[in-house]
Chains A and B, each alone.
Chain A
Amino acid sequence: MSQAITPVVKVQTPFKRICSQFAESPVAMVGLVMLVVVMFTALFAPWISPQNPYDLASLDLMDARLAPGEKGLNGQTYLLGTDGQGRDMVSAIFYGLRVSLYVGLTSGIIALVIGSVLGVLAAHLGGRFEQVIMRLVDIQLGFPAILVALVLLAVLGKGVDKIIIALVSVQWAYYARTARSAALVERGKEYVEAARSLGLKGSRIVLRHLLPNAMAPLIVVGTVQVAHAIALEATLSFLGLGLPATEPSLGLLISNGYEYLLSGKYWISVYPGIALLLTILAINLVGDQMRDILNPRLSR
């Protein structure tokens, strides 16, 4: 991502400037560290988990619903307890994090690509095409994301691919709107006029000139949207509409613990929730600082 926001200019490269400005906020740095830890955990879940939570052979029903810190029959200590099937919560959370992040990032990237291409094209081509795209964006943004995703999932059914489709459908419009307005601003600038005077092809102007320069606001929208996507996926899975039980994300883990909550077995729901909260919080803290840095109105 850093490459995209390091165009031209010498002296202190923008990348270095952004890094040093970013480090000015201790809260944002905490967010960044949290984010790195979360990403690391998700990436290496199979190697750092005490147990493979979906290898049924390694589960023991006798170990079900153990409180945090209790020892199981095989002598293993369950730091965060176990769920209704005797699954180690630490491992379940690590694996769940993996699924949640995968779904959030994949849908975010696909939506970013589709949305920014459509948005930049709309700004570049104008006319009918722009009208149709922006009308679609208006309609899409006029409805709450959860409603659109809910209907799509009711129709599509469960599955990782289905939830990614649903999340892309509710997110692309944000990117399209941002990309269009950024590209409109850029298009009026002299370097684009210069490129045009040089007789460069339209596709080259869009890909090499407009798109890279419209990237900064897109990255800001991107961080916020990925956090949204992760929260939305968790919500939908909690409602029983997102992921199948074979690939439990954090939302599904929370949902599984819901039935035990009223009987005081809080850990099955609460710990996956804390993992979810920390993930979203980390992304939002980083995104908040990025927005301040990349906002030209607040630039120092």
Chain B
Amino acid sequence: MDPVAAKYIGAGIAAIGMAGAAMGVGNIFGSFLSGALRNPSAAQSQFSNLIFGFAVTEALGIFSFLIALLLLFAV
């Protein structure tokens, strides 16, 4: 196979990993909203946990995105 084509295909495959992070981030905010609407008074105290969970989950998507970008531009 042409190495350049293989590089682009690899970048595309690596980008699929972001779908998992998308589901995770959606799950975090969805769960937070459903919990917050049940008990709005406790929502504010959990905001830092929300942001923390978001950052940790989002990082995994960023990893695959990084691999895709590095394949495109750095390899």
Q: Answer whether A and B are interacting partners.
A: no
Chain A interface residues toward B at CB < 8 A: none
Chain B interface residues toward A at CB < 8 A: none
